[in-house]
């Protein structure tokens, strides 16, 4: 495994074969995709920590979706990756859509977990309020994590999968409050990509208890992207790769095998 370092941001680069680039969501990091790695065993996998998240928390300045797109592109350039499958989660799916529109030669396919085109207005307001709360410090971050631990995972996950719950809590608790607040603001300001221009194969995966990317929204999203396929996992919340790793591995493995170009 090697590390790429660009302006206080970090990406892991490991494996050999066709390239896969993973883009995490709000409160996530490169580790979000650890549960999917068995499905990517024969691939070269590039996993950035987006500016403001994980080991890239010290990245300075305002955060935006476009800045995330530029960061992913910069890591691909540094790694010499000119063509890749893109796997993304949550906010990262918005980044992935913009990347596919702006650089279609780079994006070979999109596998989007907990996907959304852009937050609805109530969610934007909630994100800005969460940013303000995060800036109050560690105690407020603890409250945010407690709330998200209840709201973002399925009832089955909370009751029967303590490791998944611990993973999500740890991922969120490791975020530096100011950097997390700026990440919330980036999501609050997200604009939709021109998804009707996406021409590569697309897989959309959500959970039947995902309140961020509810099944009806994901199915409507699939209708806007030519040839996109939507998959809904039973008894699953928003952290799909963590809550249902075997199901997600199977879906990702089959999808990548079907991509011929």
Each residue of 178-221: pLDDT tens digit?
A: 999 999 999 999 999 999 999 999 999 999 999 999 999 999 99
Rounded mean pLDDT, 44-61: 95
For 202, phi then psi, to 5°, come to: -135, 130
Q: What angle is formed at CA 169 by the lines to CA 166 and CA 175, rounded to 5 degrees?
A: 140
Report pLDDT digits (tens) over 88-105: 999 999 999 999 999 999
**pLDDT reported for residue 127:** 97
Percent of the chain beyond pLDDT 70? 100
**pLDDT reported for residue 24:** 98
Going through the chain in order, the beta strands assigned E by DSSP cover: 2-6, 9-14, 18-23, 43-49, 84-89, 107-113, 202-207, 229-233
Output the DSSP codes for 204-227.
Answer: EEEETT-SSS-HHHHHHHHHHSTT
- 48 pLDDT tier (thresholds 50, 70, 90): very high
- 129 pLDDT tier (thresholds 50, 70, 90): very high
| Closest-CA residue to 14 (of 39, 49, 47) | 47
**pLDDT reported for residue 1:** 80
Going through 96-166 in order, the beta strands assigned E by DSSP cover: 107-113
Round to whole Å and give the CA distance between 204 and 228: 7
**pLDDT reported for residue 260:** 79
Residue ranges of domains in the chain: 2-118+192-258
Architecture of domain 2-118+192-258: 3-Layer(aba) Sandwich (3.40)
Contacts of 213 (CB under 8 A, 6+ apart): 90, 114, 115, 116, 206, 238
Q: Is the pLDDT of residue 261 over 90?
A: no
Report pLDDT digits (tens) over 133-145: 999 999 999 999 9
Yes or no: say if 73 and 103 are a contact pair by the CB < 8 Å rule: yes
Yes or no: say if 209 and 235 are a contact pair by the CB < 8 Å rule: yes
């Amino acid at each position: 495994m090697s590390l790429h370092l660009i302006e206080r941001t970090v990406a892991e680069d490991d494996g050999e074969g066709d390239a896969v680039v993973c883009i995490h969501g709000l409160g996530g990091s490169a580790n979000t995709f650890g549960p999917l790695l068995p499905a990517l065993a024969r691939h070269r996998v590039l996993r950035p920590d987006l500016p403001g998240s994980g080991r890239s928390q010290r990245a300075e300045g305002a955060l935006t979706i476009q800045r995330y797109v530029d960061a992913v592109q910069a890591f691909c350039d540094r790694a010499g990756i000119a063509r890749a499958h893109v796997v993304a989660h949550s906010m990262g799916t918005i980044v992935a859509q913009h990347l596919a529109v702006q650089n279609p030669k780079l994006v070979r396919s999109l596998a989007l977990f907990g996907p959304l085109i852009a937050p609805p207005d109530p969610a934007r307001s909630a994100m800005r309020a969460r940013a303000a709360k995060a800036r109050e410090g560690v105690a407020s971050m603890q409250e945010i994590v407690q709330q998200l631990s209840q709201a973002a995972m399925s009832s089955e996950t909370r009751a029967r999968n303590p490791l998944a719950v611990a993973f999500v809590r740890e991922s969120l608790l490791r975020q530096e409050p100011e950097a997390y607040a700026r990440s919330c603001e980036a999501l609050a300001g997200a604009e939709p990509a021109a998804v009707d221009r996406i021409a590569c194969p697309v897989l959309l995966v959500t959970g039947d208890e995902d309140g961020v990317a509810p099944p009806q929204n994901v199915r409507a999203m699939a209708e806007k992207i030519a040839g996109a396929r939507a998959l809904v996992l039973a008894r699953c919340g928003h952290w799909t790769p963590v809550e249902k790793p075997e199901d997600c591995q199977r879906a990702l493995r089959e999808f990548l095998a079907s991509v011929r170009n």
